[in-house]
Amino acid sequence: MPAPKLPSTPTLRVWDLPTRLYHWIQVVLVALALGLGFFAPEWLLNQHVVIGFALVGLILFRLVWGFFGSYYSRFSSFVPTPGRLRAHFSGILNKQSAPAGGHELGHNPVGALMVFGLIFVLGAITITGIVTLGGVENWGPLAGFVDFSTGDRARAVHLALAYVLVVMIVAHIAGVFAESQRSRTSLVRAMVTGDKELPKGRTFGQPDGAKKGAALVSLAGLGGLAGVLFYLGVQVPASGFIQMAEMDDFKSECSDCHELYHPSLLPEESWTLMMAGLEDHFGEDASLSQDTTLAIGTYLERYASEAWDSEAANRLRVVDPEKPMQISASPFWKENHAQIPEEVFKTRPVRGTGNCKACHGDAESGRFDDSKISIPEPTPERES
Ligand code: HEC
Ligand code: HEC
């Protein structure tokens, strides 16, 4: 720790430029991530994810800067020890104006608790986000390693932590304004300019600067490691999907009247039932020779939803007991498509809830990725 030397300046550069940039970039990214996470439609998930990865980079930077940044940015300068917390609270109770000591020019101990808390919660949010992405969406560096149910549980934690984060942000802003009042300095402005006015009659030294070389090397090392892990992770095939044999009969016979539905979209029992009653298939006669019926039936049962761990297979496995053969009657399907205006399904080019391909660019693969969703503009029918 540097010895106080130069009392000549009335202000002191407390927040170095990287710390200020980190702070405000984080404000923007967290606001975007929360906004997209809570309010955006499913097909903007990719944007949410990209921001999440940017936040991972930002957190890595802050961890490095907490060791090699300039004095007030270093974790060691604001460890919220019980002693410091006690002194801080007794200062508040005795209505002393802050700052009381050298470390209060930087983060006060309560602010420090918030800094560590925010880094921890944000870190946990990004980790559970990546686990969710891998398990539920079968995407990202963990797609090959996390199963659906683990991903779904991570999703619940991810969401709960997002609420915790919102509460912490509100507390953080309230704390900043309260402390600005108490210390009669604008902490917001200080985080913009980096400078804080020095209390009269006290002397503070110019704090020692950052170890930029060490910071750069560590950041490059950590970033490189993260990049390599990411790269290796995405090379592993997603665990939700299996290799499926091709079958010509299925492809030709079952795509005459509608698109070819992926076998993973219904459970085994539903396919068995459907293949046993092709002569009355949703009011149409779709009957085939006995051999072909048997072959297609065996194929569909083999690749039914039970064989997959994708999001679509897991969600659509639960069918409507009244209409066990209709994918678009299942509770998940109805819930997920309830927001879509009725007329979209009634007019061209969709025409019917069973026309998955009209909105899901990857329906044929059974993936149903969020990024492949797009609802086409309804075009009025022109009867001639
Ligand atoms: C003769 C035409 C015809 C043939 C051939 C046909 N289907 Fe269908 N299929 C229909 C009709 C009509 C519907 C009902 C469409 C709707 O209500 O949206 C339907 C609906 C379905 C559905 C439910 C879709 C949803 O909306 O959830 C599935 C699954 C399905 N068919 C599978 C098959 C399979 C498997 C085969 C091949 C063995 C097949 N179909 C062959 C006409 C046909
Ligand atoms: C009119 C367009 C449209 C049609 C037709 C349609 N979907 Fe969707 N689907 C959507 C939209 C939009 C969403 C996202 C809803 C949301 O915001 O959560 C969605 C979500 C889904 C999801 C969840 C994806 C995820 O990652 O959350 C699945 C699975 C799905 N649809 C399956 C189907 C199947 C199977 C069919 C055909 C039987 C179908 N959809 C027909 C528009 C459509």
**For 117-130, how does the pLDDT look when each residue is reduced to its tens digit (9 = 90+)?**
999 999 999 999 99
Q: What is the pLDDT of residues 312-345, one digit of tens each?
A: 999 999 999 999 999 999 999 999 999 888 888 8
Name the token pair of 85. Answer: 């917390």
Round to whole Å and give the CA distance between 188 and 173: 10
Query: How confident is the prediction along the chain (384 residues), in pLDDT tens digits per residue?
Result: 555 555 455 788 889 999 999 999 999 999 999 999 999 888 899 999 999 999 999 999 999 999 999 999 999 988 988 988 888 888 888 776 655 444 578 888 888 999 999 999 999 999 999 999 999 999 999 999 999 999 999 999 999 999 999 999 999 999 999 988 888 888 999 999 998 877 766 666 667 788 899 999 999 999 999 999 999 999 999 999 999 999 999 999 999 999 999 999 999 999 999 999 999 999 999 999 999 999 999 999 999 999 999 999 999 999 999 999 999 999 999 999 998 888 888 878 888 888 899 999 999 999 999 889 988 887 766 544
Nearest-atom number in ligand 1 for the CA of 278 is 38
**Distance (Å, whole) CA 108 – CA 224:** 34
Residue to substitute in 47, 325, 368, 369 for testing ligand 2 pocket (most ligand atoms within 8 angstroms of CB): 368
In sequence order, the 6+-apart residues with CB closer than 8 A to the CB of 269 are 324
Q: What is the rounded radius of gyration, in angstroms, for the C-alpha atoms of the chain?
A: 29
Closest CA to 210 of 6, 11, 67, 79: 67
Mutate to test the pocket of ligand 2, among 44, 137, 318, 336 (most ligand atoms within 8 A of CB): 336
**What are the Cα distances from residue 134, in Å, to 124, 264, 274, 373?**
15, 19, 33, 19
* Residue 60 CA neighbour count, 13 Å, CB half: 20
Burial 314-345 (b: 16+ CB within 10 A, else e): bbbbebeeeebbbbbebebbeeeeeeeeeebb
Tens-place pLDDT, residues 356-373: 999 999 999 999 998 899
Q: Taking Cα atoms as reference points, which of 380, 370, 348 lies closest to residue 46?
A: 370
Q: Which ligand is nearest to the CA of 341?
A: 2
Nearest CA residue ID for atom 21, ligand 2: 336
The CA distance from 55 to 25, in Å, is 9
C-alpha 342 to ligand 2 mean position (Å)? 14
> Which atom of ligand 1 approaches the CA of 253 most closely?
37
At residue 135, φ and ψ (nearest 5 deg) are: -80, -45
Token representation of residue 365:
């693969």
What's the burial of 183, exposed, middle or buried (CB within 10 Å: 0-12/13-18/19+)? buried
Total Cβ atoms within 10 A of residue 243: 5
Residues having CB within 6 Å of any atom of ligand 1:
253-254, 256-258, 261, 266, 281-282, 284, 286, 296, 326-328, 352-354
Measured over the CA atoms of residue 136, residue 139, residue 142 and residue 147, the dihedral's sign is positive
CA-closest candidate to residue 326, choices 261, 370, 371? 261
List, chain by chain if needed, residues with CB within 6 Å of any ligand 2 atom: 41-42, 265, 311-312, 315, 327-328, 336-337, 340, 344, 350, 354-356, 358-360, 368, 370, 373, 375
Is the omega angle on the peptide bond into residue 324 within 30 degrees of 0, that is, cis?
Answer: no
Q: How close are the terminal C-alpha atoms of the chain, in Å?
A: 86
CA 287 / ligand 2 centre spacing (Å): 29
Atom of ligand 1 nearest to the CA of 354: 26
Cα–Cα distance, 152 to 157 (Å, whole number): 9
Give the number of whichever ligand sits closest to the CA of residue 316. 2
Mutate to test the pocket of ligand 2, among 42, 133, 316, 339 (most ligand atoms within 8 A of CB): 42
